Chains A and B, each alone.
Chain A
Amino acid sequence: LAKTTQPISMDSYEGQEVNITCSHNNIATNDYITWYQQFPSQGPRFIIQGYKTKVTNEVASLFIPADRKSSTLSLPRVSLSDTAVYYCLVGGYYGNNRLAFGKGNQVVVIP
């Protein structure tokens, strides 16, 4: 199973760009990379998904290098409301490893 490793926590000032990296050395050919955001007392919320290179949507960008052994979630100009735990998951079609959440990365945005 492709296991993911993320830093435990990080702080950032309001208005800055935040980059969160996830390592997944054993990612399989068919695996996608998906990021979720979780606020206290809520379920995780889908942010972005990608397979290779770069994906961008209205809230974030996802950068995946050619070897796909890591990925970086980029949050532009964070606000206090972006304080949350961020999880990356990897998994492919019918791959149950995509359902394995790690401990996530606690991002705290400071005024």
Chain B
Amino acid sequence: EAEVAQSPRYKITEKSQAVAFWCDPISGHATLYWYRQILGQGPELLVQFQDESVVDDSQLPKDRFSAERLKGVDSTLKIQPAELGDSAMYLCASSYDRGNSPLHFGNGTRLTVT
């Protein structure tokens, strides 16, 4: 079964440093999502792409977070500068379309900011 690939699996960084996460969705999936999950809570949507366009970034802290999906395939989420409160699991998901097709998640990047 095809999977959503994410890297790195773990990342430790000092506060005020820049950090980036990469995601490669399932081939053919037009919709890509980035979620943040704090321990003990459900995933929180940060940004949603349809092909290369952002369709929802209302929950993305735009002063420090940015996301891109330049060719409508893989995507990068960046944080600059990182803060202690950014420590969380960052999950990428993709779906065939924006309708009812299920979300397929990667196994995430565990970020620790020290």
Expressed in whole angstroms, the minimum distance between the Cβ of A86 and any Cβ of chain B is: 11
A49 at the interface (CB under 8 A from B): yes
B103 at the interface (CB under 8 A from A): yes
A99 at the interface (CB under 8 A from B): yes
Q: Count how many chain A residues have C-beta atoms less than 8 Å from C-beta atoms of the other chain.
A: 23
B43 partner residues in chain A, CB cutoff 8 A: 44, 101
Expressed in whole angstroms, the minimum distance between the Cβ of A91 and any Cβ of chain B is: 8
Q: Please list the residues of chain A having a beta carbon within 8 angstroms of any beta carbon in chain B.
A: 32, 34, 36, 41-46, 49, 87, 91-94, 96, 98-104
A44 to B78, CA, bound (A): 22
Which A residue's beta carbon lies closest to that of B35? A101
Q: Please list the residues of chain B having a beta carbon within 8 angstroms of any beta carbon in chain A.
A: 4, 33, 35, 40-45, 48, 56, 89, 91-93, 98-100, 102-108, 110
Expressed in whole angstroms, the minimum distance between the Cβ of A92 and any Cβ of chain B is: 7
Given A100-B45, A104-B42, A42 and B108 contact (CB-CB distance below 8 Å): yes
A45 partner residues in chain B, CB cutoff 8 A: 105
Expressed in whole angstroms, the minimum distance between the Cβ of B21 and any Cβ of chain A is: 13
Expressed in whole angstroms, the minimum distance between the Cβ of A64 and any Cβ of chain B is: 14
B99 partner residues in chain A, CB cutoff 8 A: 93-94
Q: Which residue of B41, B42, B102, B107 contacts A34 across the interface (Cβ within 8 Å)?
A: B102
A46 to B105, CA, bound (A): 9
B56 partner residues in chain A, CB cutoff 8 A: 96
Given A43-B93, A43-B107, A99-B48, A87 and B102 contact (CB-CB distance below 8 Å): no
A91 partner residues in chain B, CB cutoff 8 A: 100
B105 partner residues in chain A, CB cutoff 8 A: 42-45
Given A99-B45, A103-B42, A46 and B100 contact (CB-CB distance below 8 Å): no
